[in-house]
Structure formats: structure tokens, C-alpha cells
Amino acid sequence: MSGVWVFKGGDIRLVEKQDQSSSSQKKVLVYLPTGKVVSSYSSLEMILMSLGWERYFGEEADHQLQYYKASAGLFISLPKDFSKLNSIHMNDIVKNTSDSFAVRDSTE
């Protein structure tokens, strides 16, 4: 895995380097039990809540949507604007929800 570390607003994250063929391909988040693409935060939130996640209203609530799973000590931070949800955020959801989601190439 290669990329660039980005420090912004007190957060640090790795932005993965992609080759030209994959960088133009839009990614989508798929809820595996139904096979449907998650197309809004309202649908994502309903799924996360059914999986035991809670909405977290912390200091960054003005800039991010945050979800917490107390039983596992897990935390997911997402941009407030769904159109800014990218593959890094989607992979964080996949990693933290064990077999409920997958990131796929869009068919658009």
C-alpha cells in the first residue's frame, strides 16, 4: 500500500495512491445481505443502527457524522456531505462492520 499522509484539522490519514485506470472508476458501498448500493446517509444510518451502532455527537459533530459501537469499542467518522464519501471512508465502514458491507466499482 502506498500513498501520502495528509494532516488536516488535527486528523492524520493515509490517502492511497491509485493508478490512472482505477482512479477514474467510482466506488460504491454495497450492503451485502441485500446486495443494494447504499445511496444516502439515511439508509446507511438505518443499517448501522440495526447492527448495533449509535450516532455519536462529539466535538466534531459540526464537520462530520460519527458512529460508535460501544460493545466493540469501534468508531467511524464520515464527511457530513454524502457526495464527499470516498473509498477511504467506505473501506473504514467495511473494516468496522465485519462482513456486512463491501466496496465495489460502480457500474455507471
59: its cell numbers: 466535538
In sequence order, the 6+-apart residues with CB closer than 8 A to the CB of 36 are 30
Instruction: List the alpha helices (DSSP H) in the chain.
Output: 20-23, 41-50, 87-96
What SS3 class is residue 73? coil
Q: Which pLDDT score, from 0 to 100, does residue 20 have? A: 43
CB-facing half-sphere around the CA of 86: CA atoms within 13 A: 8
Q: Is the pLDDT of residue 19 over 60?
A: no
- For 29-79, the pLDDT digits (tens) are 999 999 999 999 999 999 999 999 999 887 766 778 999 998 889 999 999
Percent of the chain with pLDDT over 90: 59
pLDDT band at 22 (very low <50, low <70, confident <90, very high): very low
Q: Which pLDDT score, from 0 to 100, does residue 12 have? A: 77
Domain assignments of the chain as residue spans, ordered by start: 26-105
d(CA 29, CA 47): 12
